[in-house]
Amino acid sequence: MRLLHTSITVRNLEESLRFYTEVLGLEFERRHPIPENRAEIAFVRDPASGGRVELTYWQDKTGYEAGDQLDHLAFEVPDLDAFLTRAKAQGVRVAKEPYQLRGGSGRLAFLLDPNDIWIELIETRSDRS
């Protein structure tokens, strides 16, 4: 397993991109809408460490409470089904069973940690039909 990125919810994607690139010096990587979630995401990367932050803007979100900013942590796993089988056997709660976004190339699933923080699992296995 490898940590891929940390996702935070932002109120304004343009303003947040300016902050993370111009103030903090992170490099813009990519940006795209996710119509089925009514969201738009952008990735910025720390050139020194390679660490990534996903900025997530939810179109329907109007209120923000303290603690709402952390959206999820994302990890790469080689075999999503095997990982989920082991996690479920340990009593881990699954928030979203495996699925694939329209136009996406990999499968995703979400777990909940003991604090209800969402953990995204992104399958990297390439031998799936």
Q: Which two tokens mark 46?
A: 């720390």
Give the chain's domain count: 1
**Does residue 28 form part of some domain?**
yes
Whether 129 is in a domain gets the answer: no
* CB contact at 8 A, 45 and 83: no
CATH code at 45? 3.10.180.10
Does 20 fall in a domain? yes
Q: Is residue 88 part of a domain?
A: yes
Could you read off the pLDDT of 48-87 as tens digits, one per residue?
Answer: 889 999 999 999 988 877 777 888 989 999 999 999 999 9
For the chain, the first-to-last Cα distance in angstroms comes to 22
pLDDT in tens, 13-31: 999 999 899 978 899 999 9
120 given a catalytic annotation = yes
Contact 53, 69 (CB under 8 A): no
| Helix/strand/coil for 14 | helix
- Considering 54, 65, 120, 123, which one is annotated as catalytic? 120
- Asked, for residue 46, whether it belongs to a domain, the answer is yes
Domain that holds residue 37: 2-123
Within-domain flag for 83: yes
pTM listed for this prediction: 0.75
101-123 tens-digit pLDDT: 887 778 999 998 877 888 999 99
